[in-house]
Amino acid sequence: MLTRFLASAALLLIASCGQQPTVTFHEVSDPEALSDWGLFSVSNGYLTPSPGTTTFTLNSVLFSDYAHKLRTIWVPPQTSITSADGETLNFPTGTIITKTFFYPDGRAGLLKVTDQGQFIDEHGIRLDETRVIETRLLVKREDGWAALAYVWNDEESEAALSIIGDERLLDIGTGTFTYIVPDRNQCSSCHVTNLASKAINPIGPTLSNLHRGEQLNVWQKSGLIDTSTIPKPMADWRNENIDVSYRARSYLHMNCAHCHSQVGPADTSGLYLTLDEQDMIRLGRCKLPIAAGQGTGGHAYSIVPGKPNESILVYRMRTLDPGAMMPEVGRSVVHNEGITLVSAWIEALEGDC
C-alpha cells in the first residue's frame, strides 16, 4: 500500500542510482523550471526526491479529486522544526515543502484511478505506471511563505512554473472531468488560514496530523524536529476501525477548517469545523445559515441530527454548482467516500431541530 510505504520510509533520506541534484533555496526569485530547485531528479523511469529531502505522510489527508500525492520536506542544514504550542509547527527560514499530484495508468491518454499496484518504491514515483500532473511548493522566505505550482510536461521530464494555473482533462473511472491546477490567488485563498494576518501557512503538517511511530520518532532522533510534546493524533478518516465521529471531525478539520475557523476566511459564517470545536451549534448542529444564499439547497440548518440529506453541510459537499459547492476550490468531482462518512456521523447524532 502507498500509505504503508510512506509511513515506514517517511523519515529516511531517499537515494537512487545516478547523480543526484543538490537542493537550492531561492530566497527571492521563482525559477521557471522545477529542476532549478534541485528537489527531484528524473532518471531510469523514476521521479526521485533528492538526498537531503524527507518524505512524509499525514493522518488525515485533503481530498483532491482522487489524486495520489507524494509529500517531501527540506530544511536547511543545522536547522530544525519546533513547536511552541504542542501542535503548530514552526519551520525555519529556507524550508521547502512539496506535494506532487499524480494518477496511476497514465500511459494511454485519459487516466483511470485504481487502488491496485505499487506506484512508489524506495526510488520514488514509478513513471511508467503513473502520470504526474503538478508539484506544488511552499517556500519559507524571510518575509513569509510563498506558494508555487509547477506543471509537468507530457514527457514527465520537467515541470514549469504556472502563475495563472492550468487544466487537464482526466478520467477517474466515473467519467471525464477537468483537473484544475490552481493559480497563485487560489493557492493563497486556501493557505491564508488567518484572515487578520493574511499570511500563507502550511495546512497539513501539524504535530497531531503527522504519523506516529517511526515518522515522529525518526524526526526527533535525527533532529529534524525539536519538540517533546506529542498531542493526540488526528484520525485517519479512511480507517473504519476508528470511531465515526472522530473520523468525520478529522475529515472536516482537514478539508474545511482552514477556512471555517474563528480566524479563517469563513469566520463570519459562524460555522467552525475545527477538530477542537466543542460548541455543537458552531459545529453546525441545528445552526441557521448566516449568508449561505443559494448554498442552502433549500435546507434550513447546517446539520440536522439524524438527517444528512436535510443538512446544508452534506448538500454543499455533494453539489458541483460553483455558487454552492464546498470547498469552493480544490475539487472538481464529488468525494463520495467523504460524503458517506460525514453522513454516517450526522445519522448518529441524536435530537432534532
- Confidence label for 6 from pLDDT (cuts 50, 70 and 90): very low
Cα dist. 171→115, 182, 199, 320, 341 in Å? 15, 19, 35, 17, 24
Query: Is 189 or 224 the better-scoring residue by pLDDT?
Result: 224
Mean pLDDT of 189-203: 80
CA count, 13 A, side-chain hemisphere, 83: 18
End-to-end CA distance of the chain: 43
With contact defined as beta carbons under 8 Å apart, do 103 and 131 qualify?
yes
pLDDT for position 139 = 97
Mean pLDDT of 14-30: 75
Is the preceding peptide bond at 327 cis, omega within 30 degrees of 0?
yes
Q: Of the segments 11-15, 184-188, 220-224, 242-246, which one has the largest average pLDDT value?
A: 242-246
Query: Is 149 or 105 the better-scoring residue by pLDDT?
Result: 149
Q: Which amino acid is at 45?
A: G
> In sequence order, what E strands does 188-302 have?
225-226
With contact defined as beta carbons under 8 Å apart, do 257 and 274 qualify?
yes
pLDDT for position 118 = 60
Mean pLDDT of 309-315: 96
Query: Is 105 or 302 the better-scoring residue by pLDDT?
Result: 302
Mean pLDDT of 169-189: 81
> In sequence order, what E strands does 11-161 have?
40-43, 46-49, 54-56, 68-74, 81-82, 96-104, 120-121, 124-126, 130-141, 144-152, 159-161
- Residue 12 clears pLDDT 90, i.e. is over it: no
CA count, 13 A, side-chain hemisphere, 213: 12
Give per-residue pLDDT as tens, 87-116: 889 999 999 999 999 988 644 444 444 443
DSSP string, 276-329: T---TTTTTBTPPPSS-GGGGTT-SBSB-TT-GGGBHHHHHHH---TTT-SSSS
- Residue 132 clears pLDDT 60, i.e. is over it: yes
Which helix (H) or strand (E) is 45 found in, with range?
none
Return the exposure string of 303-318: e unless at least 16 CB atoms fall within 10 Å of the residue's CB, then b: bbbebbebbbbbbbbb
Q: How far apart are CA 338 and CA 132, in angstroms?
A: 24
Query: Is 98 or 170 the better-scoring residue by pLDDT?
Result: 98
- Other residues' Cβ atoms within 10 Å of the Cβ of residue 270: 17
- Residue 35 clears pLDDT 90, i.e. is over it: yes
Query: Is 231 or 338 the better-scoring residue by pLDDT?
Result: 338
Mean pLDDT of 116-144: 86
Q: What percent of the chain has pLDDT over 90?
A: 54
Could you tell me which residues are beta bridge partners of residue 126? 46
Reported pTM? 0.88
Return the ∠ at Cα 199 (arms to 198 and 204), rounded to 5°: 120
pLDDT for position 353 = 92
- Dihedral sign for Cα 107, 113, 118, 119, please: positive
Q: How far apart are CA 19 and CA 187, in angstroms?
A: 33
Give the residue carrying C-alpha cell 506506484: 119
pLDDT for position 292 = 61
- Residue 73 clears pLDDT 80, i.e. is over it: yes
Cα dist. 322→109, 256, 301, 333 in Å? 28, 16, 20, 12
Nearest one of 208, 238, 204, 261 to 338, comparing CA atoms: 238
pLDDT for position 242 = 95
- Residue 1 clears pLDDT 60, i.e. is over it: no
Return the ∠ at Cα 127 (arms to 74 and 176), rounded to 5°: 105
Q: Of the segments 25-39, 82-96, 203-217, which one has the largest average pLDDT value?
A: 25-39
pLDDT for position 19 = 62
Query: Is 344 or 18 the better-scoring residue by pLDDT?
Result: 344
- Confidence label for 9 from pLDDT (cuts 50, 70 and 90): very low
Mean pLDDT of the chain: 86
**Out of 27-31, 132-136, 160-164, 326-330, which region has the weakest mean confidence (pLDDT)?**
326-330
Nearest one of 155, 224, 148 to 181, comparing CA atoms: 148
Give per-residue pLDDT as tens, 266-280: 888 899 999 999 999
Mean pLDDT of 226-240: 87
- Confidence label for 194 from pLDDT (cuts 50, 70 and 90): confident
pLDDT for position 241 = 94
pLDDT for position 266 = 87
Give the residue carrying C-alpha cell 451549534: 281
β-pairing, 81-82 vs 225-226, is: parallel
